[in-house]
């Protein structure tokens, strides 16, 4: 051990004056964009994967190079600053932080790289001339899910499962509950959260989602909406196995390979088009007109919405009519959806 520490101390004194990002400076001929992921990283079947899909599309369509970086568990703000600085200094433009946790770090780094555009998903608290805040009206999509759930339910009881009890997920709950109640004032909404912050395993552990869904099914729910990332797949499994309706989240989960076994019971999914948001930002930078300030994706721009891939869902004329009406009302601002329960 003393050898290792001695070596460490030696390298600490010997190689002063070099920064990690100096090593591979940008080759200015090749354009590149970078994504810094949220906890969970790629492969979460949800948020981070959607961001990656946007980058992948940009790589193909815009002929750029993509760079990615993942966080480590238990890291602090300094690590995020380090990660973004490294990505920016290597010449990536734009640099996109996936998730609100990047807000303080982007504030610090954006000032140091005024010529680089920074994308920040799910947060508008940090602004700047070279910061694009990519935000979504999750509550609007969830409202439509609430309308569909209330219409499709026979028992009058529906369930909501949130991954982690954070303000972002409360937006999903608020919209869903309002949608249910506006459609059927007598309906009951069972609500559960899998974990409390800073324990974010509620977005990652399918067994937690499964247990929570079982509880709600036992409580009489016959439609269960899970906004819980990867943990939501557990909820979908339990709900489908019980022969009840599940509602997916973020991407169209009916088409997700991992859930093919249960897709017949996936009524619909509340989509959140992180993919397009990421792609649009990269494209705007390539076109020389980088997005800046708040870029909001609501029902009107199809930034959020309700998927209709399930043929069973398409047969439910009454449900679809109610959803379409609610959608038109929200876009026409006849309905305002709450963002907190």
Partner 1 sequence: MKKFDKDRLLLAAAGPALALVSAFVLTMIVLAASGVDPIDPLRIMIEQAGYEDIQVLIVNQAGIYFLAALAVAIGFRMNLFNIGVDGQYRLAAMLSAVVGAAVSLPGPLHVLLIVAVAMLTGAFWAGIAGVLKARRGVSEVVSTIMLNAIATSLIAWLILPKNFGVQPAGSNDLTTGDIPESGWFPAVSLPGGDIYGFTFVAFALGVVYWFVLNRTRFGFDLRASGASESAAQASGVEPKKMIMTSMLISGAVAGLTGMPLLLGESHTYNLSFPLGIGFTGITVALLGRNNPVGIFFSALLIAFIDKASAGLDTAGYAKEIGTIMQGLIVIAVVVSYELVRRYGIRRQQQKVGEELAAGHAIKTEKEVAA
Site residues for partner 1 per CB under 8 A: 1-5, 7-8, 11-12, 14-23, 67-70, 72-79, 82-83, 85-86, 100-101, 103-104, 122-126, 133, 135, 165-168, 196-199
Q: Which is nearer to partner 1, 85 or 157 (CB)?
A: 85
Q: Quick check: helix, strand or coil at residue 196? A: coil
Q: Please name the residue that has the structure tokens 């076994």.
A: 261
Q: Which is nearer to partner 1, 70 or 329 (CB)?
A: 70
Give the shortest CB-12-to-partner 1 separation in angstroms: 5
Give the shortest CB-16-to-partner 1 separation in angstroms: 6
- CA–CA separation, 309 vs 82, rounded Å? 42
Sheet of 304-306, strand order? 188-195, 157-164, 223-227, 245-250, 266-272, 304-306
Q: Please name the residue that has the structure tokens 């961001």.
A: 51
Q: CB burial class (10 A; 0-12, 13-18, 19+) of residue 7? A: exposed
Give the shortest CB-336-to-partner 1 separation in angstroms: 18
Give the shortest CB-197-to-partner 1 separation in angstroms: 5
Q: Which is nearer to partner 1, 250 or 252 (CB)?
A: 250
Q: Could you tell me which of 132, 73, 67, 122 has the C-alpha nearest to residue 304?
A: 122
Q: Which is nearer to partner 1, 198 or 243 (CB)?
A: 198
Give the shortest CB-177-to-partner 1 separation in angstroms: 18
Q: How many CB atoms lie within 10 A of CB 23?
A: 9
- CA–CA separation, 155 vs 309, rounded Å? 24
Give the shortest CB-23-to-partner 1 separation in angstroms: 8
The DSSP secondary structure of 266-289, one letter per residue, reads: EEEEEEE-HHHHHHHHHHHHHTT-
Q: Which is nearer to partner 1, 166 or 330 (CB)?
A: 166
Q: Which is nearer to partner 1, 103 or 221 (CB)?
A: 103
């Amino acid at each position: 051990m003393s050898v290792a520490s001695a070596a460490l101390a030696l390298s600490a004194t010997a190689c002063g004056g070099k920064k990690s990002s100096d090593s591979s400076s940008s080759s200015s001929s090749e354009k590149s964009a970078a994504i810094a992921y949220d906890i969970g990283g790629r492969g979460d079947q949800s948020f981070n994967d959607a961001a990656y899909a946007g980058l992948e599309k940009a790589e193909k369509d815009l002929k750029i190079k993509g760079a990615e970086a993942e966080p480590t568990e238990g890291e602090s703000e300094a690590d995020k600053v380090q990660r973004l600085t490294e990505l920016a200094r290597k010449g990536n433009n734009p640099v996109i932080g996936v998730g609100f946790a990047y807000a303080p770090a982007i504030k610090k780094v954006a000032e140091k790289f005024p010529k680089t555009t920074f994308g920040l998903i799910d947060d508008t608290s940090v602004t700047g001339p070279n910061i694009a805040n990519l935000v979504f009206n999750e509550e609007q999509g969830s409202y439509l899910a609430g309308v569909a759930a209330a219409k499709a339910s026979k028992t009058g009881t529906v369930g909501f499962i949130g991954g982690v009890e954070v303000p972002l997920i409360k937006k999903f709950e608020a919209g869903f509950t309002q949608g249910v109640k506006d459609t059927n004032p007598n309906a009951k909404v069972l609500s559960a959260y899998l974990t409390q912050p800073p324990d974010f395993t509620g977005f990652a552990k399918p067994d937690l989602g499964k247990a929570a869904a079982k509880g709600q099914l036992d409580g009489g729910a016959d439609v269960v909406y899970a906004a819980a990332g990867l943990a939501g797949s557990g909820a979908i499994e339990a709900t489908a196995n019980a022969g009840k309706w599940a509602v997916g989240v973020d991407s169209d989960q009916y088409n997700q390979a991992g859930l093919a076994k249960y897709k017949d019971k996936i009524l619909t999914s509340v989509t959140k088009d992180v993919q397009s948001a990421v792609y649009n930002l990269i494209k705007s930078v390539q076109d020389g007109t980088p997005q800046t300030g708040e870029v909001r994706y609501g029902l009107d721009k199809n930034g959020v919405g309700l998927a209709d891939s399930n043929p069973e869902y398409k047969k439910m004329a009454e449900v679809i009519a109610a959803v379409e009406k609610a959608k038109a009302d929200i876009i026409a601002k006849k309905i305002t959806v709450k963002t907190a329960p």
